[in-house]
Amino acid sequence: MLKTLIVSNRLPLQLNIENGKVSSSPSVGGLATGLKSVHKESNGIWIGWNGLIQEDVDSQLESAVEKAVQEQQCASVALSQEDLDGFYYGFSNHTIWPMFHYFMEYAKFSNKYWESYKRVNEKFAQVVLENLEEGDTVWVHDYQLMLLPQLIKEERPDVSVGFFLHIPFPSFEVFRTIPWREQILNGLLGADLIGFHTYDYERHFLSSVSRILGYATSFNSITLADRVVTVDSFPMGIDYEKFSSFSKANQQQTDITQSELQRRLYHHQEETPEAKMILSIDRLDYTKGIANRIKAYERFLEKYPDYIEKVRLVMLAVPSRSNVKQYKRLKKEIDELVGRINGKFATVSWTPIWYFYRSMPFTNLIDLYTSCEVALITPIRDGMNLVAKEYIACRTDRTGVLILSEMAGAAKEMNEALLINPNDLELIADTIKKAIEMPVIEQKKRNKYMQSRLKRYNVEKWAEDFMNKLKSVKRNEELVKTK
């Protein structure tokens, strides 16, 4: 049976090891949901790192781990501490991540990182090749694996390879400064179909290919010496039904079944019925514009003091890449900003910012989405931003206002949100006021359009569109060959 191999840096599973016994459970991220029909329902295999460091796994444990991984229709790529330092924290998160998000001053160009990135991409290629059979399809995900398409294609030109980039592709002027720019482009061009969230990222990629490698490009294709590569945009959606049905259930909770967080949030609403809650959720990452957001909120309180005690910023930051220097620095900056603003404006009965630095269970995430009247999402750059989409999906009564950065890929599909420039603190402060004061009828009108779009183009449709396009690219290639 023909199958699809999905390849991503991390496997969509959680391993539990107790007294030498290993069990696994699937993780429930958006990507895993979207790819479920490609993975589970078509006998596919998901290849990636299982989260364990190679040195910590002896041969006995290794076979138990692999058995547990196989139960989830997955296969592991073993990574050592050195691989993680050079490939993951190094090249992926200290070179590519800042460069592709236009934080050039944060990027480190190190040959050691690059060598590690190449070596680890080769490790992934080896596992892919071991699992490939004639006629199979491979779908590679994201910036950690940009050399993989070429490594597969060189060995198996017959296999259909797709690649999707989850982060922005930067403009040519930024991309050209990377010392390994040719190798990265050639790595990606091993794919038959390359997908991006938006047309802008696609355009930037085409321009880099034509100006750096000199290949002829058209609106969405690149002509190489021996084949044609197709490029297209596929804005990733969310599991809309899951978010909207959980929110409906959440609103029907009784006093007894409510979560502690929900109780606190409701308590806040009962105590101060006219007070509004503004939600901010992201991984703690410098691309997400968290510091600007807090400063803009401070500006709002300064400019519109009537709102003191009548608003609260509920801010959830999920720990992320805390080994990387810039992330440590950012954590400190956010802690200080929150402390300063709470110190400056708090009254005996009111704290302007509720700050949580942790991951939260899904039900708490829903509690926040359903309880907060405004969502303030202000990334400096973001490939897509699924939080914005999840917030709108959870507003089942159609109330709620989304303030969204123009620099998020999601802004392209969410025109009815209040779009802002994340560097314009005055504008954000004024937009917070506008959001709080927006009449319910207008909120509902805006959300109605966004909801119907998000419902239609959900994460399953996204995966289906990509796979259908890949199939049609393959069919066209075969037609050209037989002519």
Q: Which residues bind ligand ADQ (CB under 6 A)?
A: 30, 166-167, 236, 281, 283, 316, 318, 359-360, 365, 382-387, 390
Q: Under 8 Å CB-to-CB from 90, ≥6 apart: which residues?
A: 108, 110, 112, 113, 116, 117
Closest approach of ligand ADQ to the CB of residue 8, in Å: 11
Coil/strand/helix, residue 158 = coil
By beta-carbon proximity to ligand ADQ, the closer residue of 3 and 288 is 288
Helix (H) or strand (E) holding 245: helix 240-251
Burial class (CB in 10 A: 0-12, 13-18, 19+), 267: exposed
By beta-carbon proximity to ligand ADQ, the closer residue of 228 and 318 is 318
Burial class (CB in 10 A: 0-12, 13-18, 19+), 442: exposed
Distance CA 470, CA 94 (A): 31
Closest approach of ligand ADQ to the CB of residue 106, in Å: 15
By beta-carbon proximity to ligand ADQ, the closer residue of 164 and 300 is 164
Name the one residue in this structure whose structure tokens are 């938006």.
198
Closest approach of ligand ADQ to the CB of residue 385, in Å: 5
By beta-carbon proximity to ligand ADQ, the closer residue of 241 and 271 is 241
Coil/strand/helix, residue 352 = coil
CB 76 within 8 Å of CB 48: yes
CB 264 within 8 Å of CB 225: no
Closest approach of ligand ADQ to the CB of residue 390, in Å: 5
Closest approach of ligand ADQ to the CB of residue 178, in Å: 19
Long-range own/partner contacts, residues 102-110 (CB < 8 A, 24 or more apart): 102/168, 102/170, 102/174, 102/380, 102/381, 103/286, 103/287, 103/380, 103/381, 104/174, 104/177, 106/286, 106/326, 109/178, 109/179
Q: Under 8 Å CB-to-CB from 230, ≥6 apart: which residues?
A: 192, 193, 194, 220, 221, 469, 473
By beta-carbon proximity to ligand ADQ, the closer residue of 91 and 300 is 91
By beta-carbon proximity to ligand ADQ, the closer residue of 205 and 345 is 205
Closest approach of ligand ADQ to the CB of residue 142, in Å: 8
Q: Under 8 Å CB-to-CB from 424, ≥6 apart: which residues?
A: none
Closest approach of ligand ADQ to the CB of residue 483, in Å: 37
Residue 80 token pair: 């050592």
Closest approach of ligand ADQ to the CB of residue 31, in Å: 7
Closest approach of ligand ADQ to the CB of residue 429, in Å: 23
User: Max Cα separation, the chain?
Assistant: 80
Distance CA 297, CA 122 (A): 47
Q: Under 8 Å CB-to-CB from 76, ≥6 apart: which residues?
A: 11, 47, 48, 49, 50, 65, 66, 69, 127
By beta-carbon proximity to ligand ADQ, the closer residue of 36 and 474 is 36
By beta-carbon proximity to ligand ADQ, the closer residue of 157 and 319 is 319
By beta-carbon proximity to ligand ADQ, the closer residue of 44 and 383 is 383
By beta-carbon proximity to ligand ADQ, the closer residue of 57 and 313 is 313
Measured from the Cβ of residue 479, the count of other Cβ atoms closer than 10 Å reads 9
Closest approach of ligand ADQ to the CB of residue 211, in Å: 25
